[in-house]
Amino acid sequence: MEESFVPLLPASFRPAPALSEGHIHIWTISQRPRTSSDYVPLLSKDELSRASGMRSPQLFNRFIADHGALRLLLSAYLDTDPRKLPIVANNYGKPALDIPHCRLRFNMSHSGELTMIALCLDSELGVDVEAMRPIAEWEEIAASHFSHHESESLRGEEPKARISAFFRCWTRKEALIKAIGMGLSIPLDSFTVSTSLTEPAMLLHCAWDPGAVRHWTLVHLEPGPGHVGALAIEDADWSIQQFEWP
Ligand X SMILES: CC(C)(COP(=O)(O)OP(=O)(O)OC[C@H]1O[C@@H](n2cnc3c(N)ncnc32)[C@H](O)[C@@H]1OP(=O)(O)O)[C@@H](O)C(=O)NCCC(=O)NCCS
Judged by DSSP in three states, 53 sits in coil
Of 128, 151, 111, give the one whose Cα is nearest residue 220: 128
Is 108 an interacting residue with respect to ligand X (CB under 6 A)? yes
| Binding residue (CB under 6 A) for ligand X from 94, 105, 220, 227 | 94
Q: Please tell me what DSSP assigns to residue 43.
A: S
208, burial (CB in 10 Å: exposed 0-12, middle 13-18, buried 19+): exposed
| Binding residue (CB under 6 A) for ligand X from 68, 82, 126, 229 | 126
Binding segment toward ligand X, per CB under 6 A, in 12-20, 93-101, 199-207, 231-239? 93-101
CB of 141 to ligand X, least distance (A): 6
Is 112 an interacting residue with respect to ligand X (CB under 6 A)? no
Beta bridge partners of 216: 234
Is 192 an interacting residue with respect to ligand X (CB under 6 A)? no
Number of residues that bind ligand X (CB under 6 A): 21
Distance CA 239, CA 117 (A): 16
Binding segment toward ligand X, per CB under 6 A, in 38-46, 76-84, 177-185, 238-246? 177-185
| Binding residue (CB under 6 A) for ligand X from 42, 120, 177, 218 | 177
Binding segment toward ligand X, per CB under 6 A, in 106-114, 194-202, 220-228, 238-246? 106-114
CB of 138 to ligand X, least distance (A): 10
Backbone φ, ψ for residue 99 (5° rounding): -125, 120
Is 188 an interacting residue with respect to ligand X (CB under 6 A)? yes
Max Cα–Cα distance, the chain, nearest Å: 58
Is 92 an interacting residue with respect to ligand X (CB under 6 A)? yes
β-pairing, 239-244 with 23-29? parallel
Cα separation values, 78 from 5, 16, 123, Å: 15, 9, 17
Is 64 an interacting residue with respect to ligand X (CB under 6 A)? no
Binding segment toward ligand X, per CB under 6 A, in 7-15, 76-84, 152-160, 172-180? 172-180
Three-state DSSP string of 57-81: HHHHHHHHHHHHHHHHHHHHHHCCC
Is 183 an interacting residue with respect to ligand X (CB under 6 A)? yes
**What mask, x for binding ligand X by CB under 6 A, covers residues 138 to 157?**
---x---x------------
State the Cα torsion 103-14-181-236 to the nearest 10°: 70
- The residue ranges that bind ligand X (CB under 6 A) are 92-95, 107-110, 126, 128, 141, 145, 170, 173-174, 177-178, 181, 183-184, 188
